[in-house]
């Protein structure tokens, strides 16, 4: 509950600082500004990395399988 | 099994190709992984996306892993080389409803000694004129682990997870994302092929070997903060940091930077990723008979190590071919430095990828 309150408070503060209108989003609309510009590449990358590191999660799907080689 | 997969994929492709509409896409790429630990993995991927109805997008993809390895993991268990083939098929649906996006997907992965079913559900809601997006997700994975040459061996691993993310436009050129994922897994995490060497007290000889045993339960937490910033001209910088913790004692830090430069239809991406993890609490570089404990592992992914990935990717968009054709090539060089893994000090290698993306 406290975490939810912090998230909501953060969102209100953040949006209060600068609300960008749709017609002001020319730069934000560029493909290079998305967090996952190539999700298929991310699947291959995450699968490779999660098979070779102890950590997992936070960056989207890594597919299935054990990747144990 | 491979035949059934191929038939299922062909049916999905035929269904989705029946009537192309705006922004349907086809992706084909192949990634080649090769490292100094004598492992090569070739991963072809093909994917289709089809706008099936108002706001609804269907997608399907197929990935294979063709593995050939004589890594230290393989040869230390008296096998000269192993070859494996993994198939993975994914089907997904995204439905946009004004400021709400619903998504669902199913992934089936199969290889000769491992089979997994994965389901994902997602919900995203835009707020404040789409300046903010709150998203939630849930995943479930059911895995069956087998051992080649041992018909009696069968273990299960079940993993469930939830995630939440907050994406916020900070100004006309900056966007930020906070995300958190939690997963809980219960079952068989070890490798059925890996045996742990129990050495003499002076570590000069192996007394005997025992099967790897790891805890059944694993709680994993990952929190990521990312920032995308458009810079001068047509350049952008993306940076993110991930903190990962689990109940096995693994703690890791990941820092990643990606820099994009666009000249007309060509985009160059430079990438740098640094990773460090502390080892699991039960990992030891050497085990002896007097210090054996309930959980023992020879898994280098549970040791203390760091890694670095650096590389580039070039994408070339040809808008006069179909509605748009994009060609891409990528090279990432990586180095792993193992701090307390006795059998290997380091591993170097590369990820090389080439592909195309057609929008029709």
Q: Same domain for B105 and B254? A: yes
Q: How many CB atoms lie within 10 A of CB B4?
A: 9
Q: How many domains does chain B have?
A: 2
Q: Give how far A31 is from chain B: nearest CA, Å.
A: 10
Q: Which pair of tokens denotes residue B142?
A: 């059911």
Residue at which a domain ends, from B48, B70, B89: B89
Q: How many angstroms separate the Cα of B326 from the Cα of each of B12, B53, B218? A: 23, 25, 41
CB-nearest to A58 from B84, B242, B301 is B242
- Between A and B, how many residue pairs show a Cβ–Cβ distance under 8 A? 184
Q: Same domain for B81 and B116? A: no
Q: How many CB atoms lie within 10 A of CB B291?
A: 11
Q: Same domain for B122 and B12? A: no
Tens digit of each residue's pLDDT (9 = 90 or more) over B14-26: 444 444 455 799 9
Residue of A37, A46, A65, A67 for testing the chain B interface, max B β-carbons within 10 Å:
A65
Q: Same domain for B295 and B185? A: yes
How much is the pLDDT for B79?
Answer: 73
Residue at which a domain ends, from B40, B72, B89: B89
- CB neighbour class for A5 (10 Å; exposed up to 12, middle 13-18, buried from 19): exposed
Q: Same domain for B14 and B113? A: no
Q: Same domain for B346 and B330? A: yes
Q: Same domain for B38 and B62? A: yes
Domain ranges, ordered by start, for chain A: 2-50
How much is the pLDDT for B291?
Answer: 84
How much is the pLDDT for B13?
Answer: 47
In sequence order, what DSSP letters do the residues of A23-57 get, joined into one string?
A: GG-TTTTSGGGSS-S-HHHHHHHHHHHHTTSS---
Q: Are A17 and B236 inside 8 Å of each other by CB?
A: no
Tens digit of each residue's pLDDT (9 = 90 or more) over A6-60: 554 555 455 545 688 888 888 888 888 998 889 999 989 998 999 999 999 888 6
Residue numbers in chain B where pLDDT is lower than 70: 1-22, 78, 322
> Which residue segment(s) compose the domain that B66 sits in?
1-89
DSSP structural state of residue B213? B
Q: Same domain for B64 and B146? A: no
Among A residues 8-47, those touching chain B with beta carbons less than 8 Å apart: 10-11, 14-15, 17-22, 24-28, 30-35, 40-41, 43-45, 47
* Partners of residue A34 in chain B, C-beta under 8 Å: 228
Q: Are B88 and A64 inside 8 Å of each other by CB?
A: yes
Among chain A residues, the shortest Cα distance to B42 is held by A44
Among chain B residues, the shortest Cα distance to A24 is held by B172
Is the confidence at residue A68, as pLDDT, over 60? no
Q: Same domain for B81 and B155? A: no
Residue at which a domain ends, from B89, B117, B143: B89
Q: Same domain for B15 and B98? A: no
Q: Same domain for B163 and B304? A: yes
Q: Same domain for B41 and B96? A: no
DSSP structural state of residue A20? P
Q: Are A28 and B252 inside 8 Å of each other by CB?
A: no
């Amino acid at each position: 509950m406290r975490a939810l309150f912090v998230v909501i408070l953060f969102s209100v503060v953040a949006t209060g600082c600068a609300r960008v209108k749709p017609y002001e989003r020319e730069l934000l609309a560029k493909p290079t500004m998305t967090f996952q510009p190539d999700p298929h590449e991310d699947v291959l990358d995450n699968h490779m990395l999660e098979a070779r590191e102890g950590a997992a999660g936070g960056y989207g799907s890594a597919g299935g399988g054990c990747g144990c080689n | 099994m491979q035949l059934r997969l191929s038939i299922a994929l062909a049916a999905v492709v035929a269904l989705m190709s029946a009537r192309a509409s705006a922004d349907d896409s086809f992706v084909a790429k192949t990634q080649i992984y090769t490292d100094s630990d004598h492992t090569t993995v070739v991963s072809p991927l093909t994917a289709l996306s089809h706008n099936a109805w108002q706001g609804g997008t269907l997608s399907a993809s197929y990935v294979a892993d063709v593995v050939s390895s004589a890594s230290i993991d393989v040869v230390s268990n008296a096998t000269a080389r192993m070859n494996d083939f993994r198939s993975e098929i994914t089907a997904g649906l995204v439905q946009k409803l004004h400021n709400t996006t619903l998504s669902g997907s199913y992934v089936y992965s199969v290889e000769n000694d491992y089979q997994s079913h994965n389901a994902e559900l997602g919900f995203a809601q835009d707020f404040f004129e789409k300046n903010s997006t709150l998203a939630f997700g849930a995943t479930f994975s059911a895995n069956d682990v087998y051992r080649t040459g041992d018909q009696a061996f069968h273990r299960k691993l079940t993993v469930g997870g939830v995630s939440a993310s907050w994406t916020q436009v900070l100004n006309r050129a900056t966007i930020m994302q906070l995300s958190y994922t939690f997963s809980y897994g219960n079952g068989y995490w070890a490798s059925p092929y890996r045996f742990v060497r129990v050495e003499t007290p002076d570590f000069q000889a192996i007394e005997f070997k025992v099967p790897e045993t790891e805890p059944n339960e694993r709680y994993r937490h990952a929190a990521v903060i990312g920032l995308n910033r458009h810079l001068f001209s047509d350049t952008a910088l993306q940076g993110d940091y991930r903190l990962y913790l689990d109940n096995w004692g693994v703690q890791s830090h990941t820092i990643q930077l990606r820099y994009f430069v666009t000249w007309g239809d060509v985009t160059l991406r430079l990438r740098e990723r640094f990773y460090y993890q502390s080892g699991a609490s039960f990992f030891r570089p050497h085990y002896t008979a007097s210090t054996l404990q309930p959980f023992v592992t020879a898994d280098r992914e549970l040791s203390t190590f760091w890694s670095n990935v650096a590389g580039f990717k070039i994408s070339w968009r040809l808008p006069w071919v179909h509605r748009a054709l994009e060609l891409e090539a990528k090279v990432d060089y990586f180095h792993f430095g193992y701090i307390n893994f006795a059998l290997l000090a380091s591993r170097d290698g590369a990820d090389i990828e080439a592909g195309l993306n057609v929008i029709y």
